């Protein structure tokens, strides 16, 4: 199982981006989490197959209707801790 950690920049807070990411994760059958960071970025951690994660990254670039995604920084790694579901951290 692979894991990605993504830092998403742009206008991604206060625009429904985290809910959009959670829906995309369910569509791609991924586990992990999404949360806002104090610096205005969004942190996403997702686990799945390489193919599922590549599809998911495309969703992250697209963003919710009101979001304006500037960049998605992606770090690939092997999963050390497995998540049971995908959650939105508040």
User: Which helix (H) or strand (E) covers residue 81, if one does?
Assistant: none
Report the Cα–Cα distance between both ends of the chain, in Å, rounded. 26
77 noted as active-site residue = no
Q: Which residues contact 76 (CB under 8 A, 6 or more apart)?
A: 2, 3, 4, 53
Q: Among all residues, which ones are annotated catalytic?
A: 18, 36
């Amino acid at each position: 199982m692979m894991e990605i950690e993504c830092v998403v920049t742009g206008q991604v807070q206060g625009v429904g981006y985290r809910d959009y990411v959670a829906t995309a994760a369910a569509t791609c059958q991924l586990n992990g989490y999404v949360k806002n960071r104090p610096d205005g970025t969004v942190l996403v951690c997702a686990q799945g197959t390489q193919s599922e994660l590549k599809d998911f990254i495309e969703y992250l670039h697209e963003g919710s209707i009101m979001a304006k995604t500037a960049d998605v920084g992606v770090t690939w790694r092997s999963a050390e801790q497995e998540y049971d579901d995908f959650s939105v951290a508040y």
